[in-house]
């Protein structure tokens, strides 16, 4: 069997296995809850709640299936790529920026340029800083620090900067504008975010893989989260380091040649991208019209529609990004993603798309409407006592003894255990796998990795109801036609005071108190079941503020904490040097330049 056929067989088997796991778990939860609800007589609310459990459990099981599939295999190098094979294609590294700190962003470019300089192919790579900054003060700082970058890296003719006067199409339009004006000079383009960082050897290896497979239109890496300081950020960094490789490997197995594009830390073949990925504005106003916000998944689908391979190589290391340092910044970014994913309802039935890409759009939409199903289940459970039919203790005519309904509480308990198992068991299995394979050494050893895993499970359990509230509000805002825009990402220190956390979450406190009060008066028996959801909501200002503070414990240690890579060390050194001296001064406005 050829490599292509074997890949196709693995992809098909992975998809069928994931769907089997998801449907089996969902069907089991449906019938188990239906039996529990019908113990005192089946009514419409029992059926409604069972359907809501069916949908919600299938989504949880689908996520768990990613981890299970990922644990069954290991990352490996694609076939047909010779190690250390020479490369010849010219590559441009695109760094779109939007109201970012130029010192942090440009120092990353300097570190990547220095890393590429250690390879034999530095002359084949250019950098293009594509500014969509709207703040004139920040734009002036960009021009000044660009001069410093040019001088320090001797980058004349290799490192370019331009600022668009109008940011039509946002990031996707920014990249499209560059390709229209300068894309013909390059065979490949590495698309980054302002907080992206990559090893020079990794970038060269990506070109090597693109040249080894002429049909490859896009190659996605798995970025590792770095530089987290706060408790929230470190928990996310630990999760990305320990869990993400398994979940991502399962995803890669299922997506095969129609893989994902996450918008950054990915390399594209310029000709394929230009020919396939033009994105017209959608008719009507935002949030469902206007520019395509979550353009990356759409671009991956358009490449696949045109016959190009879209691949995710989970064995590629040396790819990094930074993440939000507090829960509020995470929710703000998630609000934009929510609007973008729900906007995909306008694209779902576009002609010519592959079935799997349509399914990926459905997954993205489901990721944000899933909290509504859980909220619906909670509300239906509170209202359920009003729909229970009168209990008939003498259902058999002329039978003198009463017949009492059977106690099916154990089924509800079993269902709860199963649902929590779908959430927590994959993480525990990944932690155990890390110990058995020796990967735990990078996290501080077996004891620390398991302690951190358990702590992360507790932490995610506490923050999940708060994130569910933010997601629910985001979905409702989009459905009501409210455009969230494109807010600037907050980088660096994300610590929040209690008053700031209160301002950002007081409505969540109100929701939590209202929910527990309504449950107490309408269905008091459900209060203990609702407390794990309501209490974190009521305490959300404390949770947000405390998790935004710097972590001083040994928990959530990640491999990059213990063994930072050369490009991370180089960036730290350059950033410290740049921050220690005054900004350079320009004698005249910097001319716009293009590659």
Q: Which tens digit of pLDDT belongs to each residue from 304-338?
A: 999 999 999 999 999 999 999 999 999 999 999 99
Listed residue (447, 470, 435, 456) closest to 547, CA to CA: 456
Distance CA 215, CA 196 (A): 26
SS (H, E, C) 234-251: HHHHHHHHHCHHHHHHHH
Tell the burial category of 44 from Cβ atoms under 10 Å away from its Cβ (0-12, 13-18, 19+): exposed
Look up tokens 């990559």; give the residue: 198
The string of pLDDT tens digits covering residues 199-213 is 999 999 999 999 999
Distance CA 386, CA 394 (A): 22
Distance CA 150, CA 159 (A): 7
Beta strand ranges found along 387-457 (DSSP E): none
Listed residue (270, 89, 291) closest to 180, CA to CA: 270
The string of pLDDT tens digits covering residues 72-107 is 888 788 888 898 899 999 999 999 999 999 999 999
Residue 475 predicted with pLDDT over 70: yes
Tell the burial category of 289 from Cβ atoms under 10 Å away from its Cβ (0-12, 13-18, 19+): middle
DSSP code, position 281: P
What pLDDT is attached to residue 389?
A: 60
Cβ atoms of 247 and 263 closer than 8 Å: no
What pLDDT is attached to residue 587?
A: 45
What pLDDT is attached to residue 325?
A: 94
**What are the backbone angles phi and psi of residue 238, rounded to the nearest 5°?**
-65, -45
Tokens of 304: 């696949």
Distance CA 218, CA 274 (A): 12
Within 10 angstroms of residue 137's Cβ, the number of other Cβ atoms is: 9
Pairing state between β 91-97 and 188-191: parallel
Look up tokens 């702590």; give the residue: 455
Look up tokens 């200002």; give the residue: 541
CA angle 321, 323, 328 (to 5 degrees): 160
Distance CA 208, CA 210 (A): 6
Listed residue (547, 429, 575, 3) closest to 256, CA to CA: 3
Cβ atoms of 436 and 54 closer than 8 Å: no
Residue predicted with more confidence, 493 or 181: 181
Question: Facing residues of 28 across strands?
Answer: none
Look up tokens 């203790």; give the residue: 393
Tokens of 58: 């299938």
Distance CA 339, CA 364 (A): 11
What pLDDT is attached to residue 74?
A: 82
Distance CA 116, CA 198 (A): 10
Look up tokens 């609702």; give the residue: 530
> Per residue in 57-90, is it b (16+ CB within 10 Å) or e — as a string?
bbbbbbbbbbbbbbbeeebeebeeeeeeeebeeb
The string of pLDDT tens digits covering residues 268-291 is 999 999 999 988 889 999 999 999
The string of pLDDT tens digits covering residues 414-459 is 777 788 888 899 999 999 999 999 999 999 999 999 999 999 999 9
Q: What stretch of H or E contains 197?
A: strand 197-198
**What are the backbone angles phi and psi of residue 230, rounded to the nearest 5°?**
-75, 165
DSSP code, position 123: G
Cβ atoms of 97 and 133 closer than 8 Å: yes
Distance CA 189, CA 29 (A): 47
Cβ atoms of 452 and 435 closer than 8 Å: no
Kindly report the CATH number that applies to the domain delimited by 91-322: 3.90.550.10
Look up tokens 């530089």; give the residue: 227
pTM, whole model, 2 decimals? 0.91
3-state secondary structure of 72: coil
How big, in percent rounded to 5, are the helix, strand and coil portions of the chain?
Answer: 60, 10, 30
Domain residue ranges in the chain: 91-322
What pLDDT is attached to residue 395?
A: 57
Residue 404: pLDDT band (50, 70, 90) is: very low
Cβ atoms of 460 and 532 closer than 8 Å: no
**What are the backbone angles phi and psi of residue 269, rounded to the nearest 5°?**
-85, 120
């Amino acid at each position: 069997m050829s490599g292509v056929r074997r890949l196709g067989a693995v992809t098909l088997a992975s998809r069928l296995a994931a769907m089997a796991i998801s449907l089996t778990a969902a069907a089991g939860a449906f019938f188990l809850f239906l039996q529990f609800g019908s113990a005192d007589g089946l009514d419409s609310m029992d059926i409604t709640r069972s359907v809501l459990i069916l949908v919600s459990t299938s989504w949880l099981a689908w996520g768990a299936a990613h981890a299970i599939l990922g644990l069954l295999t290991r990352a490996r190098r694609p076939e047909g790529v010779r190690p250390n094979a020479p490369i010849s294609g010219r590559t441009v590294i695109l760094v779109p920026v939007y109201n970012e700190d130029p010192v942090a962003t440009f120092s990353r470019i300097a570190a990547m340029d220095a890393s590429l300089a250690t390879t034999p192919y530095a002359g084949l790579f250019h950098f293009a800083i594509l500014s969509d900054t709207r703040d004139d003060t920040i734009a002036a700082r960009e021009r000044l620090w660009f001069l410093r970058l040019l001088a320090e890296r001797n980058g004349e003719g290799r490192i370019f900067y331009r600022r668009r006067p109008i940011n039509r199409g946002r990031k996707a339009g920014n990249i499209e504008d560059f390709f229209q004006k300068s894309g013909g000079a390059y065979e490949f383009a590495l698309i980054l975010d302002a907080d992206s960082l990559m090893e020079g050897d990794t970038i060269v290896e990506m070109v090597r893989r693109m040249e080894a497979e002429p049909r490859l239109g896009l190659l996605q890496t798995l970025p590792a989260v770095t530089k987290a300081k706060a408790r929230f950020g470190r928990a996310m960094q630990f999760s990305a380091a320990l869990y993400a490789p398994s979940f991502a490997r399962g995803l890669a197995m299922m997506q095969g040649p129609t893989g994902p594009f996450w918008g950054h830390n990915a390399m594209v073949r310029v000709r394929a991208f230009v020919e396939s990925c033009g994105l017209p504005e959608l008719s009507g106003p935002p949030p469902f019209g206007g520019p395509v916000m979550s353009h990356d998944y759409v671009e991956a689908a358009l490449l696949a529609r045109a016959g190009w391979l879209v691949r995710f190589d989970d064995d590629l290391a040396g790819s990094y990004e930074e993440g939000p340092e507090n829960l509020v910044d995470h929710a703000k970014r998630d609000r934009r993603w929510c609007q973008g994913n729900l906007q995909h309802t306008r694209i779902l039935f576009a002609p010519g798309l592959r079935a799997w890409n349509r399914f990926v759009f459905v997954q993205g939409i489901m990721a944000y409407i899933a909290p509504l199903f859980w909220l619906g289940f909670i509300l239906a459970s509170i209202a359920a006592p009003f729909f229970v039919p009168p209990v008939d203790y003498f259902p058999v005519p002329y039978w003198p003894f009463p017949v009492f309904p059977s106690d099916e509480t154990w089924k509800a308990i079993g269902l709860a255990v199963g649902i929590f198992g779908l959430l927590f068991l994959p993480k525990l299995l990944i932690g155990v796998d890390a110990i058995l394979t020796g990967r735990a050494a990078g996290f501080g050893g077996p004891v620390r990795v398991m302690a951190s895993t358990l702590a992360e499970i507790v932490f995610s359990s506490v923050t999940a109801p708060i994130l569910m509230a933010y997601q629910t509000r985001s979905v409702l805002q989009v459905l009501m036609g409210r455009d969230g825009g494109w807010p600037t990402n907050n980088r660096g220190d994300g610590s929040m005071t209690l008053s700031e956390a209160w301002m950002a979450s007081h409505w969540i406190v109100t929701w939590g108190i209202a929910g527990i009060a309504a449950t107490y008066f309408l269905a008091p028996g459900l209060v203990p079941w609702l407390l794990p959801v309501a209490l974190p909501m009521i305490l959300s200002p404390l949770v947000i503020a405390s998790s935004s503070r710097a972590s001083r414990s040994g928990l959530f240690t990640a491999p990059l904490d213990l063994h930072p890579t050369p490009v991370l060390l180089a960036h730290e050194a350059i950033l410290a040097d740049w921050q220690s001296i005054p900004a350079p001064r320009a004698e005249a406005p910097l001319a716009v330049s293009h590659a």
